[in-house]
Chains A and B, each alone.
Chain A
């Protein structure tokens, strides 16, 4: 089975003195659905940031989608990011763009054809139940709706790997369910690898998943 992520003796830190993740080894196979849990400040989001290259490894090796992130060039990092779907806790939508254009962002970056882009966006808007809000701007939507837009954006270009940082953190039940259904669907139907950082694993999950927990800078699989 192909490895999408391989980490060896990976250490992560924001400063020289304080190491957040300490020499962890792990690998994630293509098509896996993975939950990473841990207490607040344990380093879950830090680990996720390192997976999309926003934080360079302090030590060790980290390979994501075949790209070694230790000392990666900006060109290679951009290449990798074009094949990732990222969902942020604070949505990171572009406020001066309407939601249709926000969803289009990865498609524009990947140079998709206009018709393909439009069809894909229309389909995703239906999936996230926001087809009537296409022309609205992010600040005109509720938090749940904004996160659904962010989810649609992450899925728009059929990424090899979805990284979601507490995607249902502050959402209502309905929006949370839409998000989980989309993540499950992407994993089941498109074999997309999904990594979700969260405090709580929903009880309604209908698929097999792996569970890792971070504690004291160490990552352990929960069986």
Chain B
């Protein structure tokens, strides 16, 4: 089976320079890598081994090995909405949350920064320099429309041919208004990379007031507030397609914690790898990942393209 040179979905694991600890990644090894999240309710499930998982490629059971996540460098591609609605406090909260996120990275992790309003801008390519990213963040200004789909595609296309895990963190506070690319086109591109997409949104508070009447006619005013969490169908589909999730901050102030949670969750995922056997060489491969005996919900990409 010939698999795409990089990323395409299934990560080509042709890693020449990984550390000794990542025994599975030896020079010349070719295989598929699947990034997996396991949750039980709201809790992450930790401490699982490859033997706890059952992975089928086109329905064919595969022999798995587990990769030590700690040993794989992270390529974090930040894709930030800078449309007009981000002006003011929300932008300040985004900058604060981003600073906190950078503090949580490890030395060999790399970061890129894309911003989008009508236009998508690559403000910093993948770089180990935090200073460069902080400088680029300081330049962000909010104005214009929202080209969310164009920006998501740009982020996916920038995934480089290296052995790192790629996390695309998309923050947006609104619906797309100006992209050229259509949702199916971007989702198709997502199937061709192994990047995991996390979407972060801000929950919108909704209020309703009702008056409850007692038998004597007196009224008790009752106000109910609930949070609407809606990332829009596109972002929801994109994260599902890549095995990521959409997380919501309840307020601007909450954004910092949500960013840190995303990074922490990404580090707590499992990376399974296998050399596909008993399946066709090319085309779309549907994969399914389950837990054999333990309880929990597995979130992983839906498949990959072998090219």
A, B bound? no
B residues adjacent to A (C-beta < 8 A): none
